[in-house]
Amino acid sequence: MVSYRVIVMCAGVGERLKPLTYDTPKSLFELDGRPLLGHFLEGLVYSEADIKSVHVIVGHLRKSFKKLIGSEYRGLKIKYLYNPLYKITGSAHSLYLAGPILQKNATFIADGDHYLHPDLFKKLMQSEYDNCTLVDPDLSTARQRIELAYGYKGLLSMITYLPPYPDNPVGKAMVLFKLSKNASNSLFTFLEKHLLEDGPAIKETDVPLTNLMKIHDVHYHLTEGLESIEIDFFDDYIRAKELVFS
């Protein structure tokens, strides 16, 4: 059985959710008496995967995480990595800070602002594929700059959120990847290269992940109606609260 290190990116300010994020990081928004990150950790436990440690990358209001989540959650060892440049960098820089983990371990990489149906964790962590992700085929609620996934016959070829988009995406992409040790190490190399390239300081993970797909097979599983909510706007938060409460 493969052992995984989990990397959860929670450093961002959550600009689109202000003023709610003035005093609470969105990964700690309360959903039915439990923070969003707590629901994520519950999903990891439910997946029955062999998880050695969970590394939470923090920035905005970083002390809130250890105060609320602590260093252990239902048997999961929780560690924290600090991105001091969280105000001027993006997810690629945050993930790069987990380089020592990526270079030596099979990993499970996630954005910390998703509410996911617990069965999605099992679908991904118990997948027969070493490298895989989830794709939501429902584009009816797609917003501007949403990440889109492209692929063919179960293999992902690209994720992108910068328009114009190519035709016929397979659905909405999520930064939620289970990767082998070799693929994790390759991703670190692509992150390093991407961060050294010219361009804006705020760089996201779509380019390194797409480059990863060029040298490693990355399979995708469809969510098949199981709820996945990325909390970017207030109505996302309300929908997640209603879903959990029900």
- Is residue 142 one of the residues assigned to a domain? no
173 is written with which tokens?
């992409």
82-111, pLDDT tens digit by residue? 999 999 999 999 999 999 999 999 999 999
Domain that holds residue 80: 3-128+175-218+227-245
Of 94, 126, 109, 122, nearest to 184 by C-alpha is 109
CATH number (domain holding residue 100): 3.90.550.10
Is residue 169 a part of any domain in this protein? no
Sign of the alpha-carbon torsion through 41, 241, 25, 171: positive
Residue 149 lies in a domain: no
How many distinct structural domains can be found in the chain? 1
Reported as a single tens digit per residue, the pLDDT across 37-60 is: 999 999 999 999 999 999 999 999
Summarize pLDDT for 172-203 with one digit per residue, the tens.
998 899 999 999 999 999 999 999 998 888 89
Name the pTM for this structure.
0.94
HSE-CB for 134 with a 13 A CA cutoff: 28
